[in-house]
């Protein structure tokens, strides 16, 4: 007999989990979390998961408590005799710590991978990792999905003439090239010199942007310092309009204020992370359907490659 499928939500992704479950024709399972006065918390399933194929939806932003909650939910499912446990992590926290870029630092992404495997996860499903090689940190299957599945159709619907796809830095040039190739557009690169973490120094553009409609592509926007500085610089160089698309709306610190006061016409995200504030410039596109399809494909032992555009 085939194992039943069950979807559960971490407290940070309840809305997204409900949308995913609805798109998959399922209900979100009953679970609870008890919080103690000292900050400790305890997770529990309020229905049986024995013999079930369990999918736990939880983006790890902010990373610390949400990651710990996910680990506890995985451990609880394994101890309750779940058949398989898949961690569905639309936004994978600590992904920026994928290598030793200077002496005496941790590789946070590898540590998170070790923690998830130690908790007993059988599979990980995520989207637009900051660095693709993080998939290799795991000894279990990793399904790496892409926000382009919803972001690219949105850009196509804008029907922008003289379109240029821009990368906000050299590191994102591969992603920008893929978008530009798909959209049959030219490409530009914003070259920046970062003074320190979350602080951008000088910036210039490589490529022709004068009189063009520019779309900046990135995997995440954190404090929005890079993206807004790039937008202002591109407008100064004669760009007709500047938009930005990114998978993950981290948007910490002064991000909302910077976006509002920038030259950006609009910023489009997926709903991998819930927005903290409303803004006329910020739009969120749902990734529930692509995750629902992938979950059902995995459950039915089917290929997931048809869910990708790029």
- What is the Cα–Cα distance from 178 to 147, expressed in whole angstroms? 13
- The position carrying tokens 């779309």 is 215
CA–CA distance, 264 with 105 (Å, rounded to integer): 35
Q: If you ran DSSP here, which 8-state letter would residue 36 be given?
A: -
Per DSSP, the chain holds a count of helices (H) and strands (E) of 8, 14
Contacts 24+ apart (CB under 8 A), 273-281: 273/59, 273/61, 273/90, 273/91, 273/248, 273/249, 274/12, 274/13, 274/15, 274/16, 275/249, 275/251, 276/251
Sign of CA dihedral 204, 205, 206, 208: negative
Among candidates 271, 283, 297, 304, which has minimal Cα distance to 57? 271
Give the DSSP letter string of 177-236: HHHHHHHT-EEEEEEEEEEETTEEEEEEEES--TT-EEEEEEEEESSSHHHHHHHHHHHH
2 is catalytic: no
Catalytic annotation, pick one of 192, 212, 229, 293: 192
Residue with tokens 């007709």: 240
Whole-angstrom Cα distance, residue 76 to residue 34?
14
Among all residues, which ones are annotated catalytic? 192
């Amino acid at each position: 007999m085939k194992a039943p499928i069950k979807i559960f939500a971490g407290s940070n992704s309840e809305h997204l989990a409900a949308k995913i479950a609805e798109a998959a024709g399922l209900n979100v399972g009953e679970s609870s979390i008890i919080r103690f006065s000292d900050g400790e918390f305890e997770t529990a399933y309020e229905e049986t998961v024995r013999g079930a194929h369990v999918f736990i939806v939880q983006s790890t932003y902010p990373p610390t408590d949400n990651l710990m909650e996910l680990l506890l939910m995985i451990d609880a499912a394994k101890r309750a005799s779940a058949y398989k446990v898949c961690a569905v992590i639309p936004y994978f926290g600590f992904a920026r710590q994928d290598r030793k870029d200077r002496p005496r630092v941790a590789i946070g992404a590898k540590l998170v991978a070790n923690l998830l495997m130690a908790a007993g996860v059988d599979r990980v499903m995520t989207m637009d990792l900051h660095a693709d090689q993080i998939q290799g940190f795991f000894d279990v299957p990793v399904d790496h999905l892409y926000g382009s599945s919803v972001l690219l159709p949105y850009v196509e619907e804008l029907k922008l003439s003289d379109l240029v796809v821009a990368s906000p830095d050299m590191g994102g040039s591969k992603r920008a090239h893929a978008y530009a190739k798909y959209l049959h557009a030219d490409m530009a690169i914003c070259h920046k010199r970062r003074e320190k973490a979350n602080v951008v120094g000088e910036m210039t553009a490589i490529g022709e942007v004068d009189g063009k409609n520019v779309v900046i592509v990135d995997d995440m926007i954190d404090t929005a310092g890079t993206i807004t500085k790039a937008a202002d610089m591109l407008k100064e160089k004669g760009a007709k309009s500047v938009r930005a698309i990114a998978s993950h709306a981290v948007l910490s610190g002064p991000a909302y204020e910077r976006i509002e006061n920038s030259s950006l016409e609009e910023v489009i995200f997926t709903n991998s992370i819930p927005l903290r504030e409303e803004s006329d410039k910020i739009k969120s596109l749902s990734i529930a359907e692509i995750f629902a399809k992938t979950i059902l494909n995995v459950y039915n032992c089917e290929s997931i490659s048809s869910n990708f555009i790029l």
